[in-house]
Amino acid sequence: MKEFGKMLGWISFWGYGIALLNFFMKYINKKYINRIPKDKKSYSDFYRMVMRYVVKYHKMAGSIASIAVLGHLYLMYITKGLSIPGLTALIVMIVVALLGIYGFFINRNMRGHWLKIHRILSFILIALILFHLLFKKFLII
């Protein structure tokens, strides 16, 4: 049970990482790939092909990460206890997921405040996940 809970934690970690690639790939495309000369078009075409898949599966990766982290929370709670850094990361991840759902289904304005908050919390979540991985054994109740 404990090992399955750990696996769900790593699934949520990698799912979140894949979802976060969406921002970085779009940023790199905007700042660098669009400025590549025409004679190196094959590089930009390859990059955009990869980016297309990352953007396409952003929602799925985020959804898988959010569901897996809930299972991780349950299994780790019943086997080891409640990790305070993990709970903090979970709350932020769920808020990020809810903002993504809000932006996709309710407010499709890509310049809205929800998107800025979604991105800021996503970057804060990186630090929270790393803190959880480093101190998960010390802050358990």
CA angle in degrees (0–180, nearest 5) for 101-58-131: 85
pLDDT of residue 110: 81
pLDDT of residue 49: 95
Question: Which tokens belong to 21?
Answer: 């690639």
Name the 3-class secondary structure at 111. coil
pLDDT of residue 41: 86
pLDDT tens, position by position, for the chain (141 residues)? 889 999 999 999 999 999 999 999 999 999 998 888 888 888 899 999 999 999 999 999 999 999 999 999 999 999 988 999 999 999 999 999 999 999 989 988 888 899 999 999 999 999 999 999 998 777 778
